[in-house]
A and B are shown apart, each in its own frame.
Chain A
Amino acid sequence: MTDSATMPQPVSIGRRLKRFMADRPLIPLIILLVILVVILQMLRPGIVNERWIANTAKFAIPLAILAGCQTMTMLTGGIDLSVGTVATMSAFIMATQIVNQDPAVAFLLAMLPAVLIGLVNGIGVGVFRVHPLIMTLGTSLIGTGFLQVYQRTVIASGARIPDFLNWLGTGVTYGFPNALLLFMPVAVLIVFMLNRTGFGRLLYAVGDNERAARLSGVRYWQVITALYILSSLLAGITGLLYIGLIKAPSLSLAEPLVLPSVAAAVIGGTSIFGGRGGYMGTIIGALILTVLTTLLTILQMPEGGRRILFGFIVLFVTAAYLRIIEDR
């Protein structure tokens, strides 16, 4: 599929394609996205309209923010599998606390577990040097346990989705989903942070060569702790957005987003080994996955089949990027 995009070169297309992919990873991704949309339009003529685009954006935004968490952690050679649990916790606590509390207090209460889980992740990864995958998996298990205990204490008071989150998650103004109001600043902030601030540079440095970064005076554990807290906070905010979209607080609300968020970051060209990648690619990766999900739903592929496909995508893309790096 991507061959047609870069056909003009007659000699050693494979090699040139690799170079091209490595130099401008965004262009093949955008081409892939367009191809998927065209396929969708061919399967269901007329499906691609303004409403569909707004709807796709609405569902892609929570995924893109969570994939942002993955992008940032992956840049340091990590991963954050607790984002699903953190998002679910924030959403659930918000929906239940809003019943009796002031919205601001409910918001703070909802963000509290996010900060705590991020802190524990950061200390585990940064100080004790546990593999991020194991660490975040562990904290997400503990978080789910806490959520189950918490659920019993609020069973009597019930849950309510605040109107504001409803508006933010589902509303559309002039054809643009309101969620963009939240997403745009977040995306700009992440891109700016990664490219233009010292903290962003540190993330790349730590992921690229941790030893060199340490020797040049980077406080590894501080960078990592700040990173995982930031990642958790973003996940918590995503949870609030997501509950406005799904409108049914449950204990596994954002869990289905975890695997796609990893896949989106990997597709977007962020190396799972650290040091390479960026957030723009991830955003397009999230869009690709959302369109792909629509496509698979139309083709009536069951949830299991989708997971298998996502698994192969992660493996294939990682292997492909590895080849590109080796060639250089």
Chain B
Amino acid sequence: MSRFLRNQGWVAGLFALLVFLFIITKLIQPGYGSGDFGSLARAVLPYAFAVAAQTIVVIAGGIDLSVAAMMALTSVTAASMMNGASEEYALFVVPFVLAMGLVLGALNGVLIVVTRVPDIVVTLATLFVLQGAALLVLGAPGGAAAEWLKASVIGTVPISGLPDWADAWVPKALLLLVVCLCIIWIPLRRSRLGLSIYAIGSNELAAFRSGVPVARTRIIAYALSGLFGAMGGLSLTISTGIGAPIPGPYLLASVAAVVLGGVALGGGKGGLLGPIIAVFVLRLVRTDLTLLAIDPNVTAIIEGAIMVAVVMFGAFITIRGRPAGAMP
């Protein structure tokens, strides 16, 4: 019970931090309005999916280094398939790319289970492989995205019964994010499978002895991570209109947000809400730095430093809770 309170307390504190940052943003830029919030939501979209992908694997006691490469591969695949194709063809591309993410993620899990090589090495190897595959699909940034897909993250959703001013604060990108995450996360969290994922992350041996199918659960966790990664890749293609074969800074960002979101790097603890709020916090910090008219390259340095500091803090907390000498 106390752990539950502590976890929820962490998320609540994070939310308070987010609100605080919004207030600061408003102070820096009094004109900050719903339109800016919409662009924040759009910027958050790929990061949020990357974080979701990382979260599920970290809860299962692993780590996925191939998140960014997975996004790059799915993004270029979607962009090159939609290049010059009809609008309707995209209806086929989206499920295809999602299935591709699911299968490639499952492949990660299978490799880990079969070779018995630790997660971090296997996903490092698949990071190379997926990066290479992305370069094979598209040698340079290019491709295209269907117009209706691009439109699906721009603007707001008209909700009947809400006044216009409130409606303006519900950007389509945010709604898309919430729907995509909830559709997978909520049933998962309530199912036996979700419990198994927490169980193998918490104590693999105990889970095994209580009859949890450890290997299968791990594979499914990685498959779902791949699915989220594919969503992230699609959202990249949708929001930029092209695919880029070079992975963005999503790996470090996802780990930082997972740590900041209260998910222990050892596994078995935390939820999805915390990391998602953490992504908003990290993005909003960037927005603020931009609003303060700081050179974008300097912003990148500050952002990187914040992420490293967060990860250091998280590792420090983790090590405090363990006997000396036990490395994750």
Q: Which residues of A contact B (CB under 8 A)?
A: 77, 120, 124, 128-131, 133-135, 137-139, 141-142, 144-146, 148-149, 152, 210-211, 214-215, 259, 262, 272-273, 302-312, 314-315, 318-319, 322
Contacts and interface: CB of A to CB of B under 8 A. Distances in A.
B217 interface: no
Given A148-B297, A210-B325, A259 B312 contact: no
A322 B316 contact: no
A90 B244 CA distance: 28
Looking at chain A's contact residues, the main secondary structure is helix
A264 to B, nearest CB: 13
B117 A302 contact: no
B100 to A, nearest CB: 16
A299 B190 CA distance: 52
B325 A214 contact: yes
21 contacts: A120-B308, A130-B311, A134-B255, A142-B301, A144-B300, A148-B297, A149-B298, A304-B131, A304-B132, A304-B134, A307-B128, A307-B129, A310-B128, A310-B132, A311-B129, A312-B129, A314-B121, A315-B117, A315-B125, A318-B121, A319-B115
Contact of B125 (A128, A210, A306, A311): A311
B304 A306 contact: no
B308 A304 contact: no
Contact of B136 (A145, A210, A302, A312): A302
Contacts of A138: 252, 304, 307-308, 311
Interface residues on B, range: 35 or more
Contacts of A310: 128, 132
B285 interface: no
Contacts of B63: 131
Given A149-B301, A304-B136, 5 more contacts: A139-B308, A142-B301, A304-B131, A315-B111, A315-B126
B213 interface: no
Contacts of B297: 145, 148-149, 152
Contact of A319 (B117, B139, B245, B295): B117
A305 B132 contact: yes
Contacts of B127: 311
A312 B308 contact: no
Contact of A145 (B118, B298, B311): B298
B166 interface: no
Contacts of A303: 132, 135
B132 A318 contact: no
Contacts, number: 135
B251 interface: yes
Interface in B102-161: 111, 115-118, 120-122, 124-129, 131-137, 139
Contacts of A306: 132
B324 interface: yes
B328 interface: yes
Nearest to A128: B312
Closest 5 pairs between A and B when the two form their complex, measured CB to CB: A307-B132, A311-B128, A304-B135, A211-B325, A304-B136
A141 B249 contact: yes
B319 interface: yes
A311 B308 contact: no
Nearest to B295: A149
B24 to A, nearest CB: 23
Contacts of A137: 251-252
A311 B315 contact: no
B65 interface: yes
A130 B136 CA distance: 33
Given A138-B307, A315-B122, A128 B315 contact: yes
Nearest to B126: A311
B178 interface: no
Contacts of A144: 300
A210 B319 CA distance: 14
Given A149-B301, A272-B121, A318-B121, A129 B132 contact: no
